[in-house]
Copies of this chain bind each other. A is one copy, B any other.
Amino acid sequence: MTTTAPTATESVARELVELCKAGRNMDAISKLYSPDIVSIEPLDFEGMPATMTGIDAIRKKNEWWFENYETNSHQVDGPFVNGDQFAVKYLFDTTNKKTGERFQMTEIAVYMVKEGKIVQERFFNQDRQG
């Protein structure tokens, strides 16, 4: 629709979405995240604080997730862009490897981009009564 070149935010947003669609989340972190990335979940979770800082901590959080949860299928909807921020909606169909419990999880993530790298990610969880 548009003939203008993509902004830096749009380029990063499209690459993140392509990598996540392909299940290459760890590659997305290595390629697109700032060393000083700040990650903000809604709540503390499994001994991890809601807010974590630094690419090593974020890598560990993601490794923990993929070690403990089997992804049966996933959908990646976006990106949606505004200035130096973009949003993506995720739907995961997941099984807890320990308990065998299968569930669907929908969330929206909002990312901030600075100098071509993602410096903040904030996850919004579906309101249980929503």
Interface residues of A (CB under 8 A from B): 1-2, 6, 10, 13-14, 17, 40-42, 78-83, 85-87, 89, 106-108, 110, 122-130
Contact = CB atoms under 8 A, between A and B. Distances in A.
Contacts of A124: 79-82, 85-87, 110
Q: What number of copies of this chain does the assembly contain?
A: 2
Secondary structure class of chain A's binding surface, majority of residues: strand
A108 B87 contact: yes
Given A85-B122, A108-B87, A128 B80 contact: no
Q: Which of A81, A106, A108, A129 has the most CB of B within 10 A?
A: A108
10 contacts: A6-B129, A13-B130, A78-B127, A79-B127, A80-B108, A81-B125, A82-B123, A89-B108, A108-B108, A110-B124
